[in-house]
Amino acid sequence: MAVLSRLLRASALTASCSLYAATVRRRGLSLVASEGDLRLPSSAHLSPLGTRKNLTGRNVQWAFLGCPGVGKGTYASRLSQLLGVPHIATGDLVREELSSSGPLADQLRGIVNQGKLVSDEIIVDLLSKRVEKGEAKGESGFILDGFPRTLRQAEILERVTDVDLVINLKLREDVLLEKCLGRRICSQCGGNFNIACIDIKGEDGKPGIYMAPLLPPEGCASKLVTRSDDTEEVVKERLRIYNEMTQPVEDFYRKRGKLLEFELPGGIPESWPKLLHALHLDGLNREQSLAA
Protein backbone atom coordinates (compact mmCIF):
# COMPACT_ATOMS: atom_id res chain seq x y z
CA MET A 1 0.00 0.00 0.00
CA ALA A 2 1.97 2.90 -1.35
CA VAL A 3 -0.02 5.55 0.46
CA LEU A 4 0.58 3.94 3.80
CA SER A 5 4.27 3.39 3.27
CA ARG A 6 4.70 6.97 2.19
CA LEU A 7 2.85 8.13 5.24
CA LEU A 8 4.91 5.91 7.50
CA ARG A 9 8.09 7.12 5.92
CA ALA A 10 6.95 10.70 6.38
CA SER A 11 5.97 10.14 9.98
CA ALA A 12 9.08 8.24 10.92
CA LEU A 13 11.43 10.76 9.41
CA THR A 14 9.66 13.74 10.88
CA ALA A 15 10.16 12.51 14.38
CA SER A 16 13.55 12.18 16.00
CA CYS A 17 12.40 10.40 19.14
CA SER A 18 11.12 6.89 18.58
CA LEU A 19 8.24 7.19 21.02
CA TYR A 20 7.04 10.26 19.22
CA ALA A 21 7.53 8.51 15.92
CA ALA A 22 5.32 5.69 17.09
CA THR A 23 2.62 8.12 18.10
CA VAL A 24 2.79 9.86 14.78
CA ARG A 25 2.67 6.54 13.01
CA ARG A 26 -0.41 5.53 14.95
CA ARG A 27 -2.05 8.82 14.19
CA GLY A 28 -1.10 8.36 10.57
CA LEU A 29 -2.71 4.95 10.49
CA SER A 30 -5.96 6.18 11.93
CA LEU A 31 -5.91 9.02 9.47
CA VAL A 32 -5.64 6.64 6.56
CA ALA A 33 -8.33 4.40 7.95
CA SER A 34 -10.79 7.20 8.55
CA GLU A 35 -10.18 9.39 5.58
CA GLY A 36 -9.58 7.01 2.74
CA ASP A 37 -6.98 7.62 0.13
CA LEU A 38 -5.32 10.62 1.70
CA ARG A 39 -1.90 11.42 0.40
CA LEU A 40 0.07 13.71 2.56
CA PRO A 41 3.00 15.93 1.84
CA SER A 42 6.17 14.05 2.64
CA SER A 43 8.20 17.18 2.45
CA ALA A 44 9.48 17.59 5.94
CA HIS A 45 12.61 15.46 5.82
CA LEU A 46 14.49 17.55 3.45
CA SER A 47 17.95 17.07 2.18
CA PRO A 48 20.33 19.69 3.50
CA LEU A 49 20.47 21.59 0.24
CA GLY A 50 19.38 25.09 -0.49
CA THR A 51 20.27 28.43 0.88
CA ARG A 52 18.44 29.01 4.12
CA LYS A 53 18.18 26.30 6.70
CA ASN A 54 16.81 26.11 10.17
CA LEU A 55 18.45 24.39 13.13
CA THR A 56 17.63 20.92 11.86
CA GLY A 57 19.45 21.62 8.62
CA ARG A 58 16.62 21.99 6.15
CA ASN A 59 15.04 24.89 4.33
CA VAL A 60 12.26 26.99 5.75
CA GLN A 61 8.75 25.57 5.86
CA TRP A 62 6.54 28.59 6.18
CA ALA A 63 2.92 29.37 5.49
CA PHE A 64 1.09 32.62 4.87
CA LEU A 65 -2.30 33.54 6.24
CA GLY A 66 -4.13 36.64 5.15
CA CYS A 67 -7.55 37.57 3.89
CA PRO A 68 -8.35 37.91 0.21
CA GLY A 69 -6.95 41.13 -1.20
CA VAL A 70 -4.21 41.57 1.40
CA GLY A 71 -1.51 40.67 -1.14
CA LYS A 72 -0.13 37.53 0.46
CA GLY A 73 0.62 36.00 -2.93
CA THR A 74 2.96 38.89 -3.66
CA TYR A 75 4.84 38.62 -0.37
CA ALA A 76 4.96 34.82 -0.48
CA SER A 77 6.36 34.94 -3.99
CA ARG A 78 9.01 37.54 -3.11
CA LEU A 79 10.11 35.61 -0.05
CA SER A 80 10.32 32.34 -1.94
CA GLN A 81 12.68 33.97 -4.45
CA LEU A 82 14.77 35.47 -1.69
CA LEU A 83 15.06 32.18 0.19
CA GLY A 84 15.28 29.86 -2.79
CA VAL A 85 12.31 27.73 -1.81
CA PRO A 86 9.20 27.01 -3.86
CA HIS A 87 6.12 29.19 -3.47
CA ILE A 88 3.21 26.80 -3.45
CA ALA A 89 -0.16 28.45 -3.88
CA THR A 90 -3.10 26.12 -3.59
CA GLY A 91 -5.13 28.34 -5.93
CA ASP A 92 -2.52 27.72 -8.65
CA LEU A 93 -2.57 23.97 -7.96
CA VAL A 94 -6.33 23.87 -8.43
CA ARG A 95 -6.10 25.90 -11.66
CA GLU A 96 -3.29 23.69 -13.00
CA GLU A 97 -5.18 20.50 -12.22
CA LEU A 98 -8.30 21.91 -13.89
CA SER A 99 -6.36 22.50 -17.08
CA SER A 100 -5.09 18.91 -17.16
CA SER A 101 -6.91 15.66 -17.81
CA GLY A 102 -7.53 12.61 -15.66
CA PRO A 103 -9.93 11.46 -12.99
CA LEU A 104 -8.97 14.10 -10.41
CA ALA A 105 -9.33 16.91 -12.94
CA ASP A 106 -12.79 15.62 -13.89
CA GLN A 107 -13.82 15.41 -10.26
CA LEU A 108 -12.52 18.90 -9.63
CA ARG A 109 -14.34 20.35 -12.64
CA GLY A 110 -17.57 18.88 -11.33
CA ILE A 111 -17.07 20.51 -7.93
CA VAL A 112 -16.08 23.89 -9.32
CA ASN A 113 -18.91 23.92 -11.90
CA GLN A 114 -21.41 23.34 -9.12
CA GLY A 115 -19.90 26.23 -7.21
CA LYS A 116 -18.92 23.98 -4.31
CA LEU A 117 -15.84 24.29 -2.13
CA VAL A 118 -12.97 21.96 -2.94
CA SER A 119 -12.63 19.51 -0.04
CA ASP A 120 -9.66 19.38 2.33
CA GLU A 121 -8.82 15.90 0.99
CA ILE A 122 -8.47 17.11 -2.59
CA ILE A 123 -6.42 20.14 -1.56
CA VAL A 124 -4.10 17.95 0.51
CA ASP A 125 -3.85 15.51 -2.39
CA LEU A 126 -2.86 18.27 -4.82
CA LEU A 127 -0.39 19.73 -2.34
CA SER A 128 1.14 16.33 -1.71
CA LYS A 129 1.58 15.67 -5.43
CA ARG A 130 3.17 19.08 -5.89
CA VAL A 131 5.62 18.61 -3.00
CA GLU A 132 6.65 15.15 -4.21
CA LYS A 133 7.21 16.41 -7.74
CA GLY A 134 9.34 19.23 -6.35
CA GLU A 135 11.33 16.88 -4.13
CA ALA A 136 12.13 14.70 -7.11
CA LYS A 137 13.62 17.80 -8.76
CA GLY A 138 15.70 18.54 -5.66
CA GLU A 139 13.47 21.19 -4.12
CA SER A 140 13.35 21.48 -0.37
CA GLY A 141 11.37 23.62 2.00
CA PHE A 142 8.33 25.63 0.93
CA ILE A 143 6.28 28.71 1.40
CA LEU A 144 2.61 27.83 1.37
CA ASP A 145 0.06 30.34 0.20
CA GLY A 146 -3.61 29.57 0.72
CA PHE A 147 -2.96 26.52 2.90
CA PRO A 148 -3.87 25.65 5.60
CA ARG A 149 -7.16 27.45 5.22
CA THR A 150 -9.15 25.45 7.75
CA LEU A 151 -8.38 24.01 11.17
CA ARG A 152 -8.69 20.53 9.70
CA GLN A 153 -6.07 21.30 7.06
CA ALA A 154 -3.76 22.65 9.77
CA GLU A 155 -4.20 19.47 11.78
CA ILE A 156 -3.50 17.24 8.79
CA LEU A 157 -0.39 19.25 7.94
CA GLU A 158 0.82 19.04 11.53
CA ARG A 159 0.69 15.24 11.45
CA VAL A 160 3.19 14.94 8.63
CA THR A 161 5.47 17.90 8.77
CA ASP A 162 6.69 20.71 10.93
CA VAL A 163 5.68 24.12 9.76
CA ASP A 164 8.25 26.46 11.31
CA LEU A 165 6.37 29.68 11.04
CA VAL A 166 3.01 31.02 9.96
CA ILE A 167 2.98 34.64 8.88
CA ASN A 168 -0.38 36.28 9.37
CA LEU A 169 -0.63 39.36 7.15
CA LYS A 170 -3.09 41.91 8.37
CA LEU A 171 -4.44 45.13 6.99
CA ARG A 172 -6.97 47.56 8.43
CA GLU A 173 -10.39 46.50 7.24
CA ASP A 174 -11.40 49.92 5.87
CA VAL A 175 -8.21 50.02 3.81
CA LEU A 176 -8.69 46.47 2.64
CA LEU A 177 -12.21 47.22 1.52
CA GLU A 178 -11.13 50.32 -0.37
CA LYS A 179 -8.34 48.35 -2.04
CA CYS A 180 -10.68 45.56 -3.10
CA LEU A 181 -13.15 48.06 -4.51
CA GLY A 182 -10.33 49.74 -6.44
CA ARG A 183 -9.44 46.62 -8.40
CA ARG A 184 -9.74 46.91 -12.17
CA ILE A 185 -9.02 44.52 -15.00
CA CYS A 186 -8.18 45.53 -18.56
CA SER A 187 -10.85 43.96 -20.75
CA GLN A 188 -8.39 43.72 -23.61
CA CYS A 189 -5.13 42.35 -22.19
CA GLY A 190 -6.36 41.01 -18.84
CA GLY A 191 -3.90 43.13 -16.85
CA ASN A 192 -4.68 43.74 -13.18
CA PHE A 193 -4.67 47.28 -11.79
CA ASN A 194 -5.83 49.16 -8.75
CA ILE A 195 -7.08 52.70 -8.89
CA ALA A 196 -7.46 53.13 -5.12
CA CYS A 197 -5.01 55.59 -3.64
CA ILE A 198 -4.89 55.14 0.08
CA ASP A 199 -3.46 57.97 2.10
CA ILE A 200 -4.67 57.99 5.69
CA LYS A 201 -2.97 60.36 8.10
CA GLY A 202 -1.91 58.99 11.43
CA GLU A 203 -3.97 60.06 14.43
CA ASP A 204 -4.26 59.31 18.16
CA GLY A 205 -0.84 57.68 18.14
CA LYS A 206 -1.85 55.31 15.36
CA PRO A 207 0.41 55.41 12.32
CA GLY A 208 -0.91 56.60 8.98
CA ILE A 209 -0.97 54.35 5.98
CA TYR A 210 -0.09 55.04 2.38
CA MET A 211 -0.63 52.71 -0.55
CA ALA A 212 -0.01 53.96 -4.04
CA PRO A 213 -2.47 53.01 -6.77
CA LEU A 214 -1.37 50.61 -9.47
CA LEU A 215 -2.39 52.60 -12.51
CA PRO A 216 -2.73 51.13 -15.99
CA PRO A 217 -0.66 52.25 -18.97
CA GLU A 218 -2.38 54.64 -21.36
CA GLY A 219 -3.46 51.90 -23.74
CA CYS A 220 -5.44 50.08 -21.04
CA ALA A 221 -6.91 53.10 -19.25
CA SER A 222 -10.10 53.29 -21.30
CA LYS A 223 -10.72 49.54 -21.21
CA LEU A 224 -10.86 48.96 -17.46
CA VAL A 225 -13.64 46.88 -16.01
CA THR A 226 -14.58 45.88 -12.47
CA ARG A 227 -15.05 42.25 -11.52
CA SER A 228 -18.73 41.64 -10.90
CA ASP A 229 -17.98 40.24 -7.42
CA ASP A 230 -15.95 43.25 -6.29
CA THR A 231 -18.92 45.02 -4.71
CA GLU A 232 -18.89 46.26 -1.14
CA GLU A 233 -21.45 43.68 -0.10
CA VAL A 234 -19.59 40.74 -1.62
CA VAL A 235 -16.18 41.87 -0.38
CA LYS A 236 -17.52 42.25 3.17
CA GLU A 237 -19.12 38.82 3.02
CA ARG A 238 -15.88 37.32 1.69
CA LEU A 239 -14.02 38.86 4.64
CA ARG A 240 -16.58 37.62 7.14
CA ILE A 241 -16.33 34.05 5.85
CA TYR A 242 -12.56 34.26 5.77
CA ASN A 243 -12.34 35.47 9.37
CA GLU A 244 -14.75 32.83 10.60
CA MET A 245 -12.80 30.03 8.92
CA THR A 246 -9.33 31.30 9.76
CA GLN A 247 -9.73 32.27 13.41
CA PRO A 248 -9.29 28.64 14.56
CA VAL A 249 -6.24 28.27 12.29
CA GLU A 250 -4.68 31.37 13.85
CA ASP A 251 -5.41 30.04 17.34
CA PHE A 252 -3.93 26.67 16.41
CA TYR A 253 -0.57 28.22 15.48
CA ARG A 254 -0.66 30.86 18.20
CA LYS A 255 -0.92 28.12 20.82
CA ARG A 256 2.14 26.47 19.32
CA GLY A 257 4.09 29.71 19.33
CA LYS A 258 4.40 29.68 15.53
CA LEU A 259 2.23 32.64 14.57
CA LEU A 260 3.86 35.88 13.49
CA GLU A 261 1.31 38.68 13.28
CA PHE A 262 2.35 41.28 10.77
CA GLU A 263 0.30 44.43 10.29
CA LEU A 264 1.02 45.80 6.81
CA PRO A 265 2.15 49.42 7.20
CA GLY A 266 1.35 50.31 3.57
CA GLY A 267 2.07 49.11 0.06
CA ILE A 268 4.98 46.92 -1.00
CA PRO A 269 7.68 49.65 -0.75
CA GLU A 270 6.68 50.40 2.85
CA SER A 271 5.91 46.83 3.92
CA TRP A 272 8.61 44.68 2.33
CA PRO A 273 11.61 45.98 4.31
CA LYS A 274 9.63 45.83 7.56
CA LEU A 275 8.49 42.30 6.87
CA LEU A 276 12.08 41.22 6.24
CA HIS A 277 13.09 42.89 9.47
CA ALA A 278 10.37 41.05 11.38
CA LEU A 279 11.67 37.80 9.88
CA HIS A 280 15.31 38.66 10.70
CA LEU A 281 16.13 38.57 7.02
CA ASP A 282 17.25 42.15 6.42
CA GLY A 283 20.85 41.03 5.99
CA LEU A 284 19.87 38.57 3.29
CA ASN A 285 18.06 41.24 1.32
CA ARG A 286 21.14 43.46 1.39
CA GLU A 287 23.37 40.59 0.23
CA GLN A 288 21.03 39.99 -2.69
CA SER A 289 20.81 43.66 -3.65
CA LEU A 290 24.59 43.86 -3.65
CA ALA A 291 24.85 40.72 -5.75
CA ALA A 292 22.26 41.98 -8.23
Based on the shown chain and the rule CB under 5 A, indicate whether residue 225 belongs to the binding site for Zn ion: no
Q: What character string, x for contact with Zn ion (CB under 5 A) and - otherwise, covers 168-187?
A: ------------------x-
Using alpha carbons, list the distances in angstroms from residue 140 to 134, 203, 285.
8, 45, 20
Cβ of residue 219: shortest distance to Zn ion, in angstroms?
A: 6
Give the residue numbers annotated as catalytic, written as ranges. 72, 149, 183, 227, 238
Q: Measured from the CB atom, is 193 or 272 closer to Zn ion?
A: 193
E-strand ranges in the chain read 61-65, 87-89, 142-145, 165-170, 183-186, 192-194, 198-200, 209-211, 224-225, 259-263
Based on the shown chain and the rule CB under 5 A, indicate whether residue 192 belongs to the binding site for Zn ion: no
Q: Which listed residue (188, 226, 243, 247) binds Zn ion by CB under 5 A?
A: 188
Q: Measured from the CB atom, is 51 or 188 closer to Zn ion?
A: 188
Longest dimension (CA), the chain: 65
Q: Measured from the CB atom, is 191 or 213 closer to Zn ion?
A: 191
Q: Measured from the CB atom, is 224 or 278 closer to Zn ion?
A: 224
Part of the chain binding Zn ion (CB under 5 A), chosen from 11-19, 135-143, 188-196, 273-281:
188-196
Residue type, 17: C
Q: Measured from the CB atom, is 22 or 189 closer to Zn ion?
A: 189
| 249 closest CA partner among 67, 33, 81, 32 | 67
Using alpha carbons, list the distances in angstroms from residue 229 to 18, 54, 225, 232.
51, 41, 12, 9
The answer to whether the CB of 39 falls within 8 A of the CB of 10 is no
Part of the chain binding Zn ion (CB under 5 A), chosen from 203-211, 212-220, 232-240, 255-263:
212-220
The answer to whether the CB of 168 falls within 8 A of the CB of 65 is yes
The answer to whether the CB of 143 falls within 8 A of the CB of 80 is yes
d(CA 44, CA 14): 6
Applying CB under 5 A, the site for Zn ion has a residue count of 5
Q: Which listed residue (189, 197, 221, 234) binds Zn ion by CB under 5 A?
A: 189
Based on the shown chain and the rule CB under 5 A, indicate whether residue 220 belongs to the binding site for Zn ion: yes
Part of the chain binding Zn ion (CB under 5 A), chosen from 6-14, 59-67, 101-109, 217-225:
217-225
Cβ of residue 186: shortest distance to Zn ion, in angstroms?
A: 3
d(CA 10, CA 35): 17
Question: Given the rule CB under 5 A, which residues bind Zn ion?
Answer: 186, 188-189, 191, 220
